[in-house]
Amino acid sequence: MIENFQYEKEIFGGLPHNIIQFSFSFQDNTFKGHYKDGEINWFHPKPERLVEDVLPHEIEEAVLKKIEQELGIFIMMDNFQIERIFEGLPHEVIQFSFNMNDSIYKGHFKDGEISWFHPKPGHLKEEILSDEVEAAVLKKLGPYIS
């Protein structure tokens, strides 16, 4: 139904009023919006103005499902913090930390690899896969590593 879904940026990351900006294509139109606390606020044009043959709530349900699939772990991360260590030197490292499921996780990012401190996300409950956590961390680090 929706195509080219993209997480664009996180606004107020780690704060209670965290907002996620996203975009996607549908019927040759591009739509954008903000996601916060399970609700979508659309930018103009709103889907109901341009989309035919599909009810607006069907589009919104598809977008919410996509957000849950793509950003589920990403949204669960609280207080994501980033610090550059040895900035400007060949051995520069990005250190990060975040809270999730009442635990604090920390790690380093260098040369395209994540190294975890203890506890590692692999120790999380089975329903949360460590690969999904690493993918979410890479999304959060996106602006710092590109």
**Is there a single domain that holds both residue 8 and residue 22?**
yes
Domain count, the chain: 2
Same domain? 28 vs 82? no
| Same domain flag for 57 and 105 | no
CA distance 4 to 25: 6
If asked whether residues 45 and 84 sit together in one domain, one would say no
Same-domain check for residues 68 and 82: no
Domain of residue 23: give its range: 3-73
Residues sharing a CB contact under 8 Å with residue 21, sequence separation 6 or more, in sequence order:
7, 8, 9, 10, 11, 32, 33, 34, 35
Least-confidence region, from 5-9, 14-18, 23-27, 110-114: 14-18
User: What are 96-138's pLDDT values in tens digits?
Assistant: 998 887 888 899 999 888 998 877 776 555 555 667 788 888 8
Domain identity same for 49 and 20: yes
Out of 26, 47, 73, a domain closes at 73
Q: Which tens digit of pLDDT belongs to each residue from 50-82?
A: 777 777 778 888 888 887 776 677 777 778 889
Percentage of the residues of the chain whose pLDDT score is greater than 70: 87
In sequence order, which residues have a C-beta less than 8 Å from that of residue 128 and are 6 or more positions away? 73, 101, 121
Residue (of 129, 8, 112) closest to 76 by Cα position = 129
